[in-house]
Amino acid sequence: MERAELQRYLDTLLEVERFKDYCPNGLQVEGRAAIRRVVCGVTASQALLDAAVARGADAVLVHHGYFWRGEDARITGLRKNRLATLLRNDISLFAYHLPLDAHPELGNNAQLGKLMGWVPEGRFGEQDLGWTGRLSHPMTLATLARQAGARLGRDPLLLGDPERRIERIAWCTGGAQAYFEQAIATGVDCFVSGEASEPTTHLARESGVAYLGIGHHASERYGVQALGARLTEVFGIEAEFVEVANPV
C-alpha cells in the first residue's frame, strides 16, 4: 500500500486530531512511498530500528516515537544515529502516543483490560485516558498481583494490604501514576499503572486504595500489537511485533 494511504488510515482510525499530546502523532519520519512490511514495537529505540532494517521493513510503527515537547531539538549523538538509520534505509516512522492509549478497541488500556479479563465501566482523568471497571470475580490484592505478573511476564510493584479484597479497579497504562488521586476519587479498590513515583506509596497508605505498578513497557506492548494485526487484517501487509526487553 502507499505510505500516504497508511497515514490517512491510521490518523483517522486513532482520531489524532482530538488529542492534546506531548509529541506529534502520525508520520514522524518519511520513508519510501510503498509499504509492504511493517515492524511494530513499543519504543523507536536503536534496537528496534536495527531489527526493522534486518527484516527489510518499509515502516516502523510505535507508541513512543520522537520530538517530545521540551526536549533538546538538536540532531546529535543518539538522536542522530536513530534518524540516520531511518533515513539511510528509507524507512518511515509512525508513532501514536495518547491516541493509541485511548482507542476504545485497539488502545493500550483496552487491550490490557482484555488481557486481564477486567470488565470496563467508565473513563476518568485527562482526556478520558483512565479506565474504570470490575474484576470478573473478586480476589485479594496478592492474587491480582500474581495474575498480572503471570500474564505480563513481570512481577508488579504492590502497594497495599496483600489480603485486601479487590472488586472495583481503575487502570491507565504507562507512566500514569499522577492519575492515582483521580482514580481514588472514583471509589475503586485498586489502581493499576505502569510506574510508581515517591508520592504513590503515601497515597496508597493514606487512602487505603491499593496500587499495582505493572511496568511501563510491559503495560504498553498490546496496543501496537493490536494495531499491527488490524493492518494485516484490513490491508494484507505484514506487520511483525518485535519485543525489545525493558525492565521498566
Please spell the DSSP secondary structure of 16-57, one letter per residue.
GGG---SS--EEEE---SB--EEEEEEE--HHHHHHHHHTT-
pLDDT of 214 reads: 98
What's the average model confidence in pLDDT over 77-88?
Answer: 98
C-alpha cell of residue 127: 482526556
What integer is the mean pLDDT of 152-156?
A: 96
- Measured CA to CA, the distance from residue 33 to residue 29 in angstroms comes to 12
Cα 24-41-34 angle, rounded to 5 deg: 70
Q: How far apart are CA 65 and CA 23, in angstroms?
A: 8
Q: Grade residue 171 by pLDDT with cuts at 50, 70 and 90.
A: very high
Per-residue confidence (pLDDT) for residue 190, from 0 to 100:
98
Average pLDDT over residues 201-210: 98
Give residue-wise pLDDT tens across range 29-67.
Answer: 999 999 999 999 999 999 999 999 999 999 999 999 999
Q: Provide the pLDDT for residue 219.
A: 98
Closest CA to 92 of 158, 3, 162: 3
Cβ(146)–Cβ(166) under 8 Å? no
- Give residue 185's pLDDT band: very low, low, confident or very high (50, 70, 90): very high
pLDDT interval class at 182 (50, 70, 90): very high
Give the residue carrying C-alpha cell 496483600: 162
DSSP assignment letter at 178:
G
pTM, two decimals, is 0.97
